[in-house]
Amino acid sequence: MPHASSRKLKCRRQMLDEAKTPESLVRVERLKVYFPITAGVLRRKVGDVKAVDDVSFEIVRGETLGLVGESGCGKTTVGRALIRLLDATEGSVRIDGEDITEASHSKLHRLRPRMQMIFQDPQASLNPRLTVAGIIGEPIIEHLNLSKHDRLERIYELMDAVGLSREYSNRYPHEFSGGQRQRIGIARALALNPDFVVCDEPIAALDVSIQAQVVNLLEELQDRMGLTYLFISHDLGMVRHIADRVAVMYLGRIVEVAPRDLLYEQPLHPYTEALLSAVPEADPEIEKYRQRIILEGDVPSPENPPEGCNFCSRCPKVMDICRRVEPPVTSTAPGRNVACHLYAASGDAN
Which region, judged by CB under 6 A, interacts with ligand ATP, from 10-18, 21-29, 177-185, 272-280? 177-185
271-300 mask for other proteins (x: CB under 8 A)? ---xxx-xxxxxxxxxx----x-xx--xxx
Residue 300 engages ligand ATP in binding (rule: CB under 6 A):
no
Alpha helices (H) along 191-309? 208-225, 236-242, 260-265, 270-277, 284-289
| Beta strands, E only, 2-108 | 24-39, 44-60, 64-69, 90-95, 98-99
- Please give the order of strands across the beta sheet that includes 44-60: 44-60, 24-39, 90-95, 98-99
Footprint on residues 309-348 left by other proteins (CB under 8 A): none
Residues 6+ apart with CB under 8 A from 84: 93, 100, 101, 103, 108
Residue 74 engages ligand ATP in binding (rule: CB under 6 A):
yes
Residue 35 engages ligand ATP in binding (rule: CB under 6 A):
yes
65 contacts 231 by C-beta, under 8 angstroms = yes
279 contacts 237 by C-beta, under 8 angstroms = yes
Neighbouring C-beta atoms of residue 4, cutoff 10 Å: 8
64 - beta bridge partners?
A: 229
Residue 195 or 200: which CB sits closer to ligand ATP? 200
327 contacts 244 by C-beta, under 8 angstroms = no
Measured in Å, how far apart are the chain's first and last C-alpha atoms?
Answer: 55
Residue 215 or 254: which CB sits closer to other proteins? 215
249 contacts 326 by C-beta, under 8 angstroms = no
Residue 266 engages other proteins in binding (rule: CB under 8 A):
no
Which region, judged by CB under 5 A, interacts with Mg ion, from 116-124, 206-214, 217-225, 320-328? 116-124
| Least distance to Mg ion, CB of residue 37, Å | 19
Residue 244 engages other proteins in binding (rule: CB under 8 A):
no
Residue 71 engages ligand ATP in binding (rule: CB under 6 A):
yes
Residue 205 engages other proteins in binding (rule: CB under 8 A):
yes
Residues contributing to the site for ligand ATP (CB under 6 A): 35, 49, 51, 71-77, 120, 174-180, 205, 302
Residues lying near other proteins in the complex (CB under 8 A): 35, 49, 68-72, 76, 120-124, 163, 165, 167, 170-171, 175-181, 201, 204-213, 215-216, 234, 236-238, 240-241, 261, 264, 274-276, 278-287, 292, 294-295, 298-301, 303-304
